[in-house]
Structure 1
Amino acid sequence: MTMTDVLPAGEVRRLPVKRTRIQDDLVADYLSTVVKAGQRTIQIGAGDLGAICLKRGAHHQIVATMGAIEALQAACDRRGIPTDALSGGLAARMVPGTPALDLAIIGSETGFPAMAANWRHVSGHLRENGLLVLLGADHGACARLADALGQDPSWRLEDRIGGEAAVFRKTGQVSDETALAGLAKVGDPSRRPRGVRYGLVRRLVDRLLTKRRQIG
């Protein structure tokens, strides 16, 4: 197996899913409602949310280290989720002639250099009306990207999830030049990103939802 090969299918007994952070459960629930069978999805950074995309029948690509790819494979194996539609590598791999991406996920711990290196490919290959899920949109590299998207008419803030994640919808054409130019404006390390901030009412709603899930 190479890092860009399709990973083998895993067939083990299904185990209950229990994540450390309730926010990740909320994002997982969201993905379960928007991802459809046959779609193409991609994640930048480590994490097991890609398992939801695979479970829904999507063709999923993970851009991360080999350790993170193997961790996602193992998470799918534990839950009995086939991974024949999973591929991975250190960089976004867009094969000419393949359908556009339907959804992209960028992890909250993804550094700005890694995100910027892949953003041109992700933004350009995401279909119009496709979705971008930013985990940790209130801090770090994802907050910087959220700032850039907030100034770009080709993107619209669609939703907020769990007090940290933000969903943007691609509403127009995006070129490589405009995608990179937007990042350049917000990439200054001395500039503190604003990101997607949550108002008091939204925070209270998310807190109530979190408590209900913990009780349930």
Structure 2
Amino acid sequence: MNLSTSGLTLHREGAGNWMISEDVLAFLEAHVSAGDMTVETGAGYSTIVLAALGAHHTSVTPAEEEADAITAYCVEHQIPTDSVRFLFGYSQDVLPGLDLAEVDLALIDGGHGFPVPAVDFMYLAPRLKVGGHLLIDDVDIWTGAMIVSVLKQEPEWEYGGRLARRTAVFRKVAPYVAREWCDQPAVVAKSRITRATRQTANGLGRLAQGDLAGLRDRLRRAAQLRAQRR
């Protein structure tokens, strides 16, 4: 797809251009067909490409001027926008009521402050169909990297690497499951030292108070929990 980006400034009321990488745009071209259901948090050149591909696309953005600039670009370049809709607002407010299911591709590229990317994931993951793709942009920021570290060890997600070193690609291979932390290997690994320290401190505190029965009960429950995880 040959669309000129010369002078294209879609963000900060025309003062900036936070264009997603060419590798991501190429991925969209390779994996999205006309009629596919797609959604993104944020708006930008990815929105234009998905419109040009004929996707039924939803963009969630609080910036109406971005939508105006995108629509004007599409009109100028004769790109139909009949199948594109903009939902204005912050993703954490819009996504809970999103009327989408069986999404073919979802792109998380809205707010990057904690916990917004995780909230975006929580609402988009169940709507993505099995076999669909999830893209998480700017994973060089910790809030995106955190999601990647968890999903790499979740059986429902197949990691496809990074595009241009900053956009993670996953394919959903099984229905989404919201697990408790103790059933998520990445979270357990990050929490092990802290929890062990806390449990030791609690045990020593009970021992100092002479609460041997309470200490024995804690040790018994800890052993049961370890056995359940095996």
Task: Give the structure-1-normalised TM-score.
Answer: 0.66
Return the alpha-carbon distance in structure 2 between the equivalents of residues 149 and 169 of structure 1. Answer: 10
Query: Partner residue of 2:85?
Result: 87
Evaluate the alpha carbon distance shift between residue 23 and residue 115 of structure 1 in structure 2; reply closer, same or farther with a 3 A threshold: closer
Q: Does 1:104 align with 2:106?
A: yes
Query: Partner residue of 1:24?
Result: 21
Contact 1:135–1:164 under 8 Å retained in 2 = yes
TM-aligned CA deviation for residue 179 of structure 1: 9.2
Return the alpha-carbon distance in structure 2 between the equivalents of residues 64 and 179 of structure 1. Answer: 30
Alignment of 1:25-174 (within 5 A): 25-67=22-64, 68-89=66-87, 90=89, 91-92=94-95, 93-95=97-99, 99-107=101-109, 109-174=111-176
TM-aligned CA deviation for residue 119 of structure 1: 2.3
TM-aligned CA deviation for residue 150 of structure 1: 1.5
Q: Secondary structure at the match of 1:61?
A: strand
Contact 2:111–2:117 under 8 Å retained in 1 = no
TM-aligned CA deviation for residue 39 of structure 1: 0.5
User: C-alpha offsets along residues 59-89 of structure 1, whole Å, 9 cap, x if unaligned?
Assistant: 0011111333334333433432111111122
- Structure 2 runs not aligned, ≥5 long: 9-16, 191-230
Evaluate the alpha carbon distance shift between residue 101 and residue 22 of structure 1 in structure 2; reply closer, same or farther with a 3 A threshold: closer
Contact 1:55–1:81 under 8 Å retained in 2 = yes
Return the alpha-carbon distance in structure 1 between the equivalents of residues 80 and 114 of structure 2. Answer: 32
Query: Partner residue of 2:179?
Result: 178
Evaluate the alpha carbon distance shift between residue 174 and residue 72 of structure 1 in structure 2; reply closer, same or farther with a 3 A threshold: same
Return the alpha-carbon distance in structure 2 between the equivalents of residues 76 and 22 of structure 1. Answer: 16
Matched residues, percent identical? Answer: 27
Evaluate the alpha carbon distance shift between residue 30 and residue 62 of structure 1 in structure 2; reply closer, same or farther with a 3 A threshold: same
Return the alpha-carbon distance in structure 2 between the equivalents of residues 156 and 36 of structure 1. Answer: 21
Contact 1:100–1:125 under 8 Å retained in 2 = yes
How much is the aligned-residue C-alpha RMSD, in angstroms? 3.1
Structure showing greater radius of gyration is 2
Task: Considering Cα pairs closer than 8 Å and 6+ residues apart, tell me whether 1 or 2 has the greater RCO.
Answer: 1
TM-aligned CA deviation for residue 23 of structure 1: 6.0
Aligned length: 170
Letter in 2 for 1:134: I
Return the alpha-carbon distance in structure 2 between the equivalents of residues 28 and 179 of structure 1. Answer: 35
Contact 1:41–1:59 under 8 Å retained in 2 = yes
Contact 1:108–1:140 under 8 Å retained in 2 = no
